[in-house]
């Protein structure tokens, strides 16, 4: 069964960029290597492949020289700055309502993870499940979510909170600082779990501990299909002259054969979708701007204008000059 690519809003890496900057570390080389935009504030509404975000977070710890960076960033996250929390606080009166609403609003920011709340007798579980298991152990990612989710639960439970009553299950407990007095259990790469007394769900929220200012998620909506997801992931890389099928698959967070198989089920290929995106972008540039053909060629990954012209005619049946004249006269 074909599924969407796991995507996450690019803004998810902002807390790590800010922490690296605070520590005097430079993440620009890593951003370039992964093909991620360097101007995150201008691109924060974009969705990118979850695999790239996971890799950025894991390798950020190496850049910072801190094996517990993920936990440090997550546990100091400004909770009320994240829309799902602020929106949930507007409607929730109890801890259970807050966590339930959060699981609903969080889906607007990622198709790669699902938060859930399960009440089973005297114990309840607030957890995160990944829709696609990462290739490598997501130690820093888990540590980030543990720090963040623990802080959210602690703030919400307020006077009811007791660390001795909470059990955390993460992929790599070594990424949690030994100085923190947490009850830890080894989990797997599928996600993390926080288990706590079910009676906390009925506790009233101390909203004064959250300075919430609710705003809706950005105008970019979650892609609705596999092909839309592939387009979303690849779009920022169309200028790359070395955008091979293998590289495109990696950007999407898949092995080439796996992505090819998924797209075959949709009646298309990776190469066809890259060509379609480049044709669309070039056509828009030709019809709405006065940029030279050579500049437009570079913007869609062609270093040779002549090669671009041949490719464009193959895509549309018109040369770039013919296309520009016909579309300008019709506008």
Residues constituting the chain: 331
Contact 311, 274 (CB under 8 A): no
Long-range interactions of 262-266: CB distance < 8 A, separation 24+: 262/2, 262/3, 262/226, 263/226, 263/227, 263/230, 265/2, 266/2, 266/226, 266/227
Which CATH number does the domain housing residue 259 bear?
Answer: 1.10.10.60
Domain assignment of residue 223, yes or no: no
Q: Are residues 203 and 242 in the same domain?
A: no
pLDDT in tens, 34-60: 888 776 654 556 788 888 889 999 999
Residue 263 CB-density burial (10 A; 0-12 exposed, 13-18 middle, 19+ buried): buried
Domain assignment of residue 164, yes or no: yes
Domain assignment of residue 227, yes or no: no
Task: Count the Cβ atoms, other than its own, within 10 Å of residue 118.
Answer: 12
Average pLDDT, the chain: 85
pLDDT in tens, 313-331: 999 999 999 999 888 755 5
| The predicted structure's pLDDT at residue 21 | 87
Q: Are residues 184 and 246 in the same domain?
A: no
Contact 47, 223 (CB under 8 A): yes
DSSP category for residue 203: S
Q: Which of 157, 189, 209 is the last residue of a domain?
A: 209
Domain assignment of residue 148, yes or no: yes
Contact 23, 59 (CB under 8 A): no
Buried-exposed string 130-141: b where 16+ CB fall within 10 A, e elsewhere? bbbebeeebbbb
Tell if the pTM clears 0.85, that is, is over it.
no
Enclosing domain of residue 89:
7-209
pLDDT in tens, 204-244: 987 666 654 444 444 455 566 788 888 888 888 888 899 99
Rounded to 5°, the CA angle 203-184-191 comes to: 80
Mean pLDDT of 283-289: 91
Which CATH number does the domain housing residue 23 bear?
Answer: 3.90.1520.10
Pairing of strands 183-186, 47-49: unpaired
Q: How many domains does the chain have?
A: 2
pLDDT for 192 beyond 50 = yes
116 phi, psi to nearest 5 deg: -145, 160
Contact 57, 16 (CB under 8 A): yes
Nearest to 14 by CA among 51, 57, 52, 48: 57
pLDDT for 117 beyond 70 = yes
Q: Are residues 52 and 111 in the same domain?
A: yes
Q: Are residues 201 and 242 in the same domain?
A: no
Domain assignment of residue 225, yes or no: no
Whole-angstrom distance, CA of residue 47 vs CA of residue 109: 8
Task: Give me the residues paired with residue 120 across strands.
Answer: 123
Q: Are residues 63 and 151 in the same domain?
A: yes
pLDDT for 180 beyond 80 = no
| The predicted structure's pLDDT at residue 82 | 74
Q: 219 is written with which tokens?
A: 């105008």
Residue 250's pLDDT band (cuts 50, 70, 90): confident
Task: Name the least confident of 135-139, 162-166, 210-214.
Answer: 210-214
Task: Name the least confident of 9-13, 69-73, 115-119.
Answer: 9-13
Mean pLDDT of 98-104: 93
Residue 268 CB-density burial (10 A; 0-12 exposed, 13-18 middle, 19+ buried): middle
pLDDT for 1 beyond 60 = no
Q: Are residues 182 and 248 in the same domain?
A: no
Mean pLDDT of 289-315: 93
């Amino acid at each position: 069964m074909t599924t969407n690519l796991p995507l996450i809003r690019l803004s998810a890496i902002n807390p790590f960029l800010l922490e690296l900057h605070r520590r005097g570390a430079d993440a620009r080389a890593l951003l370039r290597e992964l093909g991620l935009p360097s101007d995150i504030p201008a691109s924060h509404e974009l969705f990118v492949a979850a695999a790239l975000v996971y890799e950025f977070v894991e390798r950020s710890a190496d850049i910072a020289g801190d094996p517990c960076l993920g936990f440090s960033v997550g546990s100091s996250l400004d909770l009320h700055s994240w829309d799902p929390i602020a929106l949930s606080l507007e409607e929730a009166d109890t801890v259970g309502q807050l966590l339930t609403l959060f699981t609903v609003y969080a889906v607007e920011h990622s198709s790669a993870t699902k938060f859930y709340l399960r009440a089973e007798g005297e114990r309840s579980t607030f957890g995160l499940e990944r829709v696609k298991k990462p290739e490598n152990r997501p130690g820093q990612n888990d540590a980030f979510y543990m720090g963040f989710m623990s802080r959210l639960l602690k703030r919400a439970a307020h006077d009811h909170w007791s660390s001795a009553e909470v059990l955390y299950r993460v992929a790599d407990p070594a990424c949690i600082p030994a100085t923190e007095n947490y009850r830890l259990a080894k989990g797997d790469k599928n996600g993390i779990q926080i288990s706590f007394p079910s009676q906390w769900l009925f506790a009233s929220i101390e909203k004064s501990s959250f300075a919430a200012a609710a705003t809706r998620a950005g105008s970019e909506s979650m892609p609705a299909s596999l092909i839309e997801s592939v387009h979303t992931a690849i779009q920022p890389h169309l200028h790359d002259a070395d955008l091979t099928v293998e590289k495109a698959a990696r950007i999407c967070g898949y092995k080439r054969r796996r992505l090819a198989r998924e797209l075959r089920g949709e009646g298309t290929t990776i190469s066809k979708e890259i060509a379609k995106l480049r044709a669309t972008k070039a056509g828009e540039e030709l019809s709405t701007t006065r940029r030279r053909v050579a500049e437009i060629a570079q913007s869609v990954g062609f270093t040779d204008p002549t090669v671009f012209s041949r490719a464009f005619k193959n895509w549309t049946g018109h040369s770039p000059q013919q296309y520009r004249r016909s579309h300008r006269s019709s506008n």
